Structure 1
């Protein structure tokens, strides 16, 4: 078995990694055909990830022009601890304000440490409802996935 095969995550490990991490780096293609990278909060969604951004942001403009992205989620402070998932994604825009509001609440609840089904405080709901008209939801569904978990090598290279 190749080293590459030894460090590849299983589909369940990929999903667990999505759930455990907090920031994605999203690459889109800018108007000058150069990569545009942006870190975003996210939540796992239907085998991929979901997030939101300002509708007027550069990443939103880029993704409207070409609704494809490359997403990176990684962790580890030393070589033997490196873990990550990089995936190419088809990007779906969500523009319905009620649905964008639900996405914003899901994001804020996740980063506040709440369980997905916990009721959101009224203050949070009001704040997100005020933000949602300026934002769009982004659902990123993987079309190709690469993963690695160097911990699987147990320090033997």
Structure 2
């Protein structure tokens, strides 16, 4: 078995890891052809280790942001979720994705509220509802569907690397 095969996450491990983490790095192609990288909060969706793909991710951004402009031009992105401070702790997932831009204000507000539920302490989401709804017309939702997933978990190697 190759080292690559040894570190690959199972579909169950991948879904658990993506659900536990909180920030993705979204890479789109900028107008000059170079990658444009942005950290974003996200909500994992359609979690099913037996499905292909085993999940989708949703997030939102301002409609005039560079990433939104880039995705209107080319709706492909690569997402990275990673962790670990030493080689033996490195874990991560890289996902090449097709990205759907959601412009319906109610649907965008729903994505914003889902983000608020995930990242705001319980009991404070209702206080944000009005602010999220007010921001929705200025934003677009991003639904990221993986077309290729690569994962690694160096904790599986023990000390033998």
Same fold (TM over 0.5): yes
How many residues matched? 153
Unaligned runs of 5+ in 2: 47-54
Is residue 142 from structure 1 mapped to residue 146 from structure 2 by the alignment? Answer: yes
Q: Distance in 2 between matches of 1:68 and 1:137?
A: 14
Q: CA shift at 1:12, angstroms? A: 1.1
Unaligned runs of 5+ in 1: none
1:75-120 deviations in Å (ceiling 9; x for gaps): 0111101000001000011111111111001101101244xxx894
The structure 1 segments of at least 4 consecutive aligned residues displaced by more than 3 Å after TM superposition are none
Distance verdict in 2 for CA 1:145–1:108, change over 3 Å: same
Is residue 58 from structure 1 mapped to residue 66 from structure 2 by the alignment? Answer: yes
Q: CA shift at 1:70, angstroms? A: 0.5
Question: TM-score normalised to the size of structure 2?
Answer: 0.91
SS at match of 2:100: strand
Is residue 43 from structure 1 mapped to residue 70 from structure 2 by the alignment? Answer: no
1:10-63 deviations in Å (ceiling 9; x for gaps): 111111111100110011001111111111010102212110000000000000
Question: TM-score normalised to the size of structure 1?
Answer: 0.94
Root-mean-square deviation (CA), in Å? 1.3
Q: Distance in 2 between matches of 1:52 and 1:33?
A: 23
